[in-house]
Amino acid sequence: MPGLDGRVAVITGASSGIGEHVARALAEQGAHVALLARRADRLEAIAEQLARSGRRARVYKVDVTDAAALEAIAETVGKDLGPVSIVVNNAGIMSPTPIAQKDPSPWQRQVDLNITGLNNVILAFVDRLLTTAASSGVADLVNTASIAGKLPFTRLA
């Protein structure tokens, strides 16, 4: 990933898994990283580790289903780290709920987070990405998705 020095990357779902690994990789390549997730304690630990390695990382506790909170954070990230040029839209969950339980709440939470949350992140950052692209010639939006969208899993409604 050449050329990331000084670029500002926003990573949702950065408290674990793919999001955490992406945040670390972008920071290793010189990007300043905005770590977004619901688990602030995990984000703080990651940010501290990155800081010890000489990387700039900021923590933003947020639930991506909250569009207003995301918009406020998008504004704050720009003030804290500079113009956003990378957004990795990674927050998501998989709720293993057997259909026989007839409980729609896990399904609804999954849809709210995995679909509506993804859209909320895009809406909060798209204008900033377009502004950055217009001034520097580059901006990146990456949306991750689950393999569950392609393969069925036993006992998952």
Domains observed in the chain? 8-145 (3.40.50.720)
pTM above 0.85, yes or no: yes
Q: What phi, psi does 51 have (nearest 5°)?
A: -65, -40
Q: What is the pLDDT along the chain (157 residues), one digit of tens a residue?
A: 457 999 999 999 999 999 999 999 999 999 999 999 999 999 999 999 999 988 899 999 999 999 999 999 999 999 999 999 999 999 998 888 887 888 889 889 989 999 999 999 999 999 999 999 999 999 999 999 877 767 777 766 5
| Whole-number pLDDT of residue 1 | 44
The pLDDT value recorded for residue 41 is 96
What's the rounded Cα separation, in Å, for the pair 15 and 38? 8
- pLDDT score of 95: 80
Locate the DSSP E strands across the chain: 8-12, 32-37, 57-61, 84-89, 140-143
Q: Residue 157 has what pLDDT?
A: 59
Distance separating alpha carbons of residues 119 and 113, to the nearest angstrom: 9
For residue 16, the model assigns a pLDDT of: 95
